[in-house]
Amino acid sequence: MDESFSNLQTSHLLGSVPAVISDDNQKSTNVHIASVKEGPSANMQIFPPHQGNNAAKGYQTLESPTEGPEQQPSNNWKGYFNVYSYAQYFNVDTDVVLNRLMSSLYPTSGDFFSKIDANPDLYGLVWICTTLVFVLSSLGNCATYLVKKRTDSAAPWVFDVNYINLAASLIYGYAIIVPVAFYFSLRYMGSRADLLRFWCLWGYSLFVFVPTTLPLLIPVEFLRWVIILLTGGIASNDLTVVVAVAFGLQMVLSIFIKVWFFP
């Protein structure tokens, strides 16, 4: 009985005195604890084990997650269908857009091209084209209403929804397809060209049509032609990279807008 009681742990009891351990036993105990701490770390293993050529490696090891930031997926063809891949082309402030809009109205100063070259964007292209589609469709219907009331006030007038489809097809098609055609033409001739820069230039060059369509409601045919031709000339000055062809295309666009939307 005395021997059994002598083996009980009493160090946690109040007033108890720890047993005296000799120096040799203390050293052997410390060595044993150190060997346990320095032993090989255990790796967690997951099921199923390796398959095929890696079957000899046994079960798979559960690797610890890295603490660094997540790696971005590599660029491939799937990036063209990802909306976030185009976010960099819309990274412009409102002040920058307004400054470029004002500069596009005075392209001969030379400041407009330096601002575009620094950071071309697609925000101006999308915003200006969308605004112009709305302005043309609404003011075009208003112009037909005024003409109808001048010729025959008793005749009924119906809002023409096809103006929206026509304006969207004309403006978006012109602002997207024409720069692409210029881009491939210049690349074919061996010239260095930037498609993003062309889209940016064409987009901001169309801004002048937004404020000048309002005076086209004036029922004076000669004044309308003067306004639209001056607008086409100002818009073509923004595209001095291809002055001759750009001038012709902008004038054709101006005449089409006048004939179709403001007859």
Mean pLDDT of 147-165: 84
* Tens of pLDDT, residues 221-232: 889 899 998 888
Strand-pair partners of 240: none
Q: What is the structure's pLDDT at 34?
A: 47
**Across the chain, where does the E strand assignment appear?**
45-49, 59-61
If you compute the radius of gyration of the chain from its CA atoms, what whole number of angstroms results?
38
Residue 89 and residue 55: Cα distance in Å, rounded? Answer: 49
Query: In angstroms, rounded to a whole number, what is the distance separating the alpha carbons of residues 236 and 178?
Result: 13
The tokens for 236 are 């073509």
Token pair 């002048």 in the structure block, residue: 208
pLDDT at 127 over 60: yes
Write the pLDDT tens digit of every residue in 66-77. 443 444 444 555
